[in-house]
Chain A
Amino acid sequence: MSFPKILSANWGVPDNHHINVAMSRGQYDVAREVLGGARTPDDITAEVKKSGLRGRGGAGFPAGMKWGFLPKNDPRPRYLVINADESEPGTYKDRRILENDPHMLIEGCILASYAIQAHACYIYVRGEFWHQQSILRQAVQEAYHKGFLGKNCFGSGYHLDITVHSGAGAYICGEETALLTSLEGERGYPRLKPPFPATHGLFQCPTVVNNVETIANVPWIVRHGGDAYSQIGKYVVGPDGRPQVDSRGTRLMCASGAINKPGVHEIPLGIGLMEYIDEYCGGVKGELKAAIPGGSSCPILTADEVRSVEMTYESMAKHGTMFGSGGLIVLEQQTSLVWVLHNLLRFYSHESCGQCTPCREGTDWLYKILGRMLQGKGTEDDLREVLDIADNMEGRTICALAAAATMPTRSYIQKFREEFVSYFVKGGRPVDRRGRYLHPVAPVGAAV
């Protein structure tokens, strides 16, 4: 289907990260107009609300609604914080935005800051993204030099400072409250909620935390209107003439794994997952076994489910998984899911911040048990134990990292139990360093 490319339109344009190139393609026009007095802050918020734009960081919370939660008539300063701590395994879309179109993000920051009347905006970039950081920092400098940022943006009297802050390489700092704590200079521990960032965020002031991709959509939405954005996508219109799903617009998908064309693709929401794999990713390499649709913390989908799920938040939820951050990982038949889960749990046990007991101890315990299973020393009791430990962890912690480890764990074991059981032989089953069986196996769990 045809749709306007919003986020990736200028990717590949030479030197697009320089402000003059970006401006020649119309970047900053909207911000200049808006700050010049063409639109009120409430207007912008209303436009974003109308667009139905949902947060692209993982939780999918409607962006306009989030902005609306800030307390009115509060004397404290307000902050906009951009979450560019993209660390979810399988996800690498924000990094492409930072590399290819940093000015789109900066313009989005100006518009969003204006909408919530923030005069300081922080972009918290993942520590490992040093290259992307240098591009972004240069872009911010250029915007300052042009007078688009600083004391008097576009000569409008509105002032806004954007600070690029580097993380130090912790997955947990992508959790919004941990990000705020880290930004304040403390150890990146998630905070108890409530109070929520909307009322007690950065420096205990009202704060909006948005993902890079979410904010990068804002200039387009303000320019073309929320209605235009909400019409993008493939959805069924109900009898009242309104779309039946709340998943509108485009989003970036990052495909990896057993596909022919891995990469970041901008897709209209609502198309089938299999359609995406076939049309954008060049099809599955080998025989489809399963797919993780939205980053490593999402429950896994079996081949059958992959064929029936649509790329909407609603369809994903109906299939018991999440759209998450759009990091699709496709797994083919020869890949050992025990190995995959073990690999995943190593990540989560390494990245658990250690604040809450269940996650601190549980993630590593699961990892160690999976390690034992991988060596063929597991038993049926171990599987029961793993599920019980997962029960004791999930929903018992301050943030969702424990759930990010347990949701996949549970779904892998429930959906591919035979494969886990097949490991209960002495020595396990040999795999190569990418987790593929050395001795080809008959398809498991797939409709063949």
Chain B
Amino acid sequence: MATFSLNGKQVEAPDGLNLIEAAKLHGVDIPHYCYHPGLSVAGNCRMCLCEVEGARGPQIACGQQVRDGLVVRTDTPAVEKMRRGVQEFLLLNHPIDCPICDQAGECRLQDYYMEYGQYDNRSDVPKIQKEKALDIGPMVVLDQERCILCTRCVRFCEEISDSHELVVTGRGDTSVIETFPGKDLDNPYSGNVVDICPVGALTSKDFRFKMRVWFMKTAKSICTGCSRGCNIYMDHKDAMVYRYRPRENACVNGYWMSDAGRLSYKSLHENRLPHVRVRGVEAPIGDALREVAGLLEGSRPPGAFAVVGSAFSSLEANAALWHFAEAFMPGASRFAWDPTPAGVEDSFLLRGDKSPNRTGVQYLGYEMSREALLATLRSPSLEVVWVMGNDLAQDPEVADALRGVSSVVYFGAHDNATARLASYVFPVATHAEQLGSFVNFQGRVQRFFKAFEAPGDAVAEYELLSRIGQWLTPQFGWSDVEDVWALLRSWRTELGDTSWYSLGDAGYQIPSFGEAQAAPKGLGRVEALAGSVLR
């Protein structure tokens, strides 16, 4: 730790920490455009200028590292004038087309103008015209006029995606960001440049013009695109998710997420199942619950039950199903196979396993083999199979086997082949509509939060199971995720006295999976901290 003086107050911060970060720790916001904790320091926007004792002239905060005896002032009239000056320069050739700009509402130029600018416009020189609405790749649209040339995107393509598509060309105030001749911005992480662009120069082709950002609300969530489980912000309005944005987690995804994951929100709203169906006909939920509970009444021969958990459902849903089977389905086999093929994997974020919670179902003890599942489904003694989440019927052999079972109960959020052949279909909430957690490939429990209410009859899986169970044992069930977590805790002593609500936004590493794994390159503050990446 180093002790330094910030605006006249003696404060402490880790030695070598970037001054912008150190000031943030103490509640001092130093405005900046080009600095990004996940990228090297470029020092070109000059917005973070501050006064450092002993230095020749004003210094950029992003180029300063905390050390003992550093004396910094960010609140003097001189610093205010510098910020106003830089703000004026940045807006000099900016088109100021805020009403039609997709970034409006989350634009640094707007925010900082209100906070540090507030000058009267004195520029009457003609603005420089550049290209607008350039289609530079599958995810991104570039507006060169709005660009402030902070080069965050260029550095991202150099340092994180290592694909070098973006370059600065031209000189002086005719400089522009462009794609390298003959290249498109089409790397698997290209959407991140939209997030890190502090202004409206890079906008998302998928999101632009769909929603004004100030109308949306945000929930902390987890991307379900693959087993990495990138931490995200889920932006939504009126029970509709509009986009995912990466949320910082140094141990998992740094500041980034993949394009595939970013677009995975689309499947949330496709083919939703809002209503209960019994043998293909919509039915009142109360009647259906009672009827399904009836399937479990009385004594059955061994091998009459099977449940299929899902790597696409939460840890809590799978735990509840496991417990439900233990309680009401004596001798039930428990599987969690799903027909999803492995996908693209790379050395950065993308994992080949495209399910968010496979580690979680394995941790609970579900049998993952397809052959064992098929053998059980084909066994003549099987009467009731309980399928959660997965579209098992995508696999023709499994579909055939399922047709031979007298009662198939399906819990799912989406209408699919399995739902069509099931005798009882119960809609459940997606991860946008309930609280829960996934265990990513590292063995890290990561929570997601409820963004909005589920449509129609849909509820969380554990709630549905509680209501069915209560027909059989009135005390059965869980009132919320914390109850389900208590169940998990009773099974796994290593979870100690953790509680769901205190797992933390960065997730909880299950001890038996070992220490948190080393983050991939470019992940997190570690590098920015070292200060060795000054260019």
Contacts and interface: CB of A to CB of B under 8 A. Distances in A.
Interface of A: 170, 187, 191-192, 195, 349-358, 360-365, 368-369, 372, 381, 385, 391-393, 395-398
A354 B43 CA distance: 13
Contacts of B167: 187
Contact of B148 (A170, A191, A357): A357
Given A350-B172, A392-B88, A357 B535 contact: no
Nearest to B122: A385
B93 interface: yes
Most buried by A among B60, B128, B171, B534: B171
Contact of B171 (A353, A369, A393, A398): A353
A398 B44 CA distance: 7
A365 B128 CA distance: 11
A354 to B, nearest CB: 4
Contacts of B86: 357-358, 392, 396
A361 B89 CA distance: 6
B123 A365 contact: yes
B171 A170 contact: yes
Interface majority SS (helix, strand, loop, mixed), chain A: helix
A360 B173 CA distance: 5
B188 interface: no
Interface residues of B, number: 37
Interface string B59-92: 0100100000000000000000110011011101
A357 B123 contact: no
Interface of B: 41, 43-47, 49, 57-58, 60, 63, 81-82, 85-86, 88-90, 92-93, 122-123, 125-126, 128, 148-149, 167-168, 170-175, 534-535
Contacts of A364: 128, 172-173
B165 to A, nearest CB: 15
A382 to B, nearest CB: 10
A355 B47 CA distance: 13
B44 A357 contact: yes
Contacts of A385: 122
A44 B40 CA distance: 39
A365 B149 contact: no
Contact of A360 (B47, B60, B149): B149
Nearest to A363: B172
Given A192-B535, A355-B44, A357-B44, 7 more contacts: A192-B43, A192-B534, A349-B173, A354-B171, A354-B174, A363-B172, A396-B57
A87 to B, nearest CB: 13
Nearest to B92: A361
A363 B93 CA distance: 13
Contacts of B170: 354
Contact of B172 (A187, A349, A372, A381): A349
Nearest to A352: B172
A365 B125 contact: yes
Nearest to A403: B57
Contact of A354 (B92, B125, B173): B173
User: Closest 3 A-B residue pairs measured CB to CB?
Assistant: A392-B85, A354-B175, A361-B89
Contact of B90 (A170, A352, A353, A361): A361
A274 B125 CA distance: 41
B125 A368 contact: yes
A441 B522 CA distance: 65
Contacts of A192: 41, 43, 60, 63, 534-535
A385 B85 CA distance: 12
A396 B175 contact: no
Q: Which of A191, A356, A362 has the largest count of B CB atoms less than 10 A from its CB?
A: A356
